[in-house]
Chains A and B, each alone.
Chain A
């Protein structure tokens, strides 16, 4: 199963690099959303007194919108006939595993990209970089797993782009709460947040639960 998952993952990656428009589009998406936030804050003279909480909320909202776009594309891109081919060569578990890995890598890439752009343009209030990277990793996992599953569901409903937002936004809120709280505590100047460990564990537990649900439920979505 792992071998075929890796093969599909490698194929997806290859397609992404061959057809650089999609990748470039998402990178540009991140850049322009950061700029939109930067200008809207800057021309209201509020960028100086932006609190760490507001910073992290803006940051994770940009990640939310760009990853939902990127991941929705991941399922939409496949031509309709291609899935029949997959039925022959791979188990549904292998397909979902490849999609999860691919979207995870992609989302973490997006988070790091957005972080660099944010740090340069808006400012970098992060004090505790290891914690921020852990949050980015766990948050990226949460975002990518959830949106992969929702993308798979939406792809069955005629690739409706509204649908993935309708399905995805309400259920991403728990993750959004955890990651914004965690990144706000990365930026606290004084000491460690007592709730930090609890939030990290809850986020990790949430990701494990998503993984289990994806593993169990994806075959039902995949079957025609």
Chain B
């Protein structure tokens, strides 16, 4: 009788869950993110320079390869070499754009400029009107040649004159290692956010259940964990794909990954715990207790443990947080909608799960 009474009561969110408008909004936002996030081209960047190693006191003919660059169209390509540990810029001797993505750059380094070191790293800095400033760090290494000419003139530092520092086009930033996979920012990151939101939502309803003893609250809490696990699995798989192409392995040794894995296991244990409790009321109460416990550990793993050791993820272990400069204004135009869209999709899935469960309970108590 108590069960019947409890399941006939409606959880407070159910009216919103039954409404349609926000589901259309979610679909439109996600379509915008999917289409826009895939169609916006990647900005200009430097792909390679050859040769990487060269000897001093000899004129070297470099071939610089760019990606989505406009070396020829811009017509004002400038190239500098900058010691990786220094602040001076040295202009290239001559620059010959061959096609938009390739340019020949002639440069030489006198042995005296190595300052007695056996070799010296140079960053490559390019600028043109259309592409803005492009940098490739540690691009080439100058090695002291066998014959040294101490009378040769040393390099003269120049002050770069830059017309336009940023690309004029509407593009996503070109980042070494990431390249086109930067679009995964609209999938991987919001999926974890969605999992976090669902887990916190579940926590709120678990606490509510302990206060009210209303089984509808337990339905909300438990189904939110199911939806969160789905998004956890999505976050893990997109992350593993991303890591394969950027960090070289699907499961690099990274504390944030460990936290995510433990989080998923903790919530799988929640499902197992619910499965092994047979009495409805007891299942609701015990799993609510475990849920409160689980989120504390989960938060510890996501926010505290990664800060104890080095991490590959942005924002940890000395890596910049992605809000600092990994996310430029063009990425933000899709990233924030992606967070909203995936979160709404998560709650959409949750609303379906909750409604199914409530109907099942209603049927079984009749």
Q: Which residues of A contact B (CB under 8 A)?
A: 149, 153, 156-158, 160, 163, 166-167, 170-171, 173-174, 177, 195, 202, 206, 209, 213, 217, 220-221, 223-224
Task: Please tell me if the beta carbons of A220 and B285 are within 8 angstroms of each other in the complex.
Answer: yes
Which B residues touch A220, using CB under 8 A? 210, 285-286, 288-289
Task: Please tell me if the beta carbons of A167 and B269 are within 8 angstroms of each other in the complex.
Answer: yes
Which B residues touch A224, using CB under 8 A? 282
Assembled-state Cα–Cα distance A160/B286 (Å): 14
Task: Please tell me if the beta carbons of B276 and A163 are within 8 angstroms of each other in the complex.
Answer: yes
Task: Please tell me if the beta carbons of A156 and B282 are within 8 angstroms of each other in the complex.
Answer: yes
Q: Does B265 contact A (CB under 8 A)?
A: yes
**Nearest Cβ in chain A — how far from B82, in angstroms?**
36
Assembled-state Cα–Cα distance A158/B272 (Å): 13
Task: Please tell me if the beta carbons of A167 and B262 are within 8 angstroms of each other in the complex.
Answer: no
Q: Does B96 contact A (CB under 8 A)?
A: no
18 more contacts with CB within 8 A, not counting A177-B308, A195-B308, are A149-B293, A156-B277, A160-B276, A163-B272, A166-B269, A167-B269, A170-B265, A171-B266, A171-B297, A173-B301, A174-B297, A174-B300, A177-B305, A213-B293, A213-B296, A217-B292, A223-B285, A224-B282
Q: SS class of chain A's interface: helix, strand, loop or mixed? A: helix
18 A–B contacts, CB within 8 A, in A order: A149-B293, A153-B286, A153-B290, A156-B277, A158-B276, A167-B269, A170-B269, A171-B294, A173-B262, A174-B297, A174-B300, A177-B305, A195-B308, A209-B296, A213-B293, A220-B286, A223-B285, A224-B282
**Nearest Cβ in chain A — how far from B263, in angstroms?**
8
Which B residues touch A173, using CB under 8 A? 262, 301
Which A residues touch B296, using CB under 8 A? 209, 213
Which B residues touch A171, using CB under 8 A? 266, 293-294, 297
**Nearest Cβ in chain B — how far from A150, in angstroms?**
8
Which A residues touch B288, using CB under 8 A? 220
Q: Does B273 contact A (CB under 8 A)?
A: yes
Q: Does B304 contact A (CB under 8 A)?
A: yes
Assembled-state Cα–Cα distance A158/B288 (Å): 17
Which B residues touch A163, using CB under 8 A? 272-273, 276
Task: Please tell me if the beta carbons of A153 and B289 are within 8 angstroms of each other in the complex.
Answer: yes
Assembled-state Cα–Cα distance A220/B209 (Å): 11
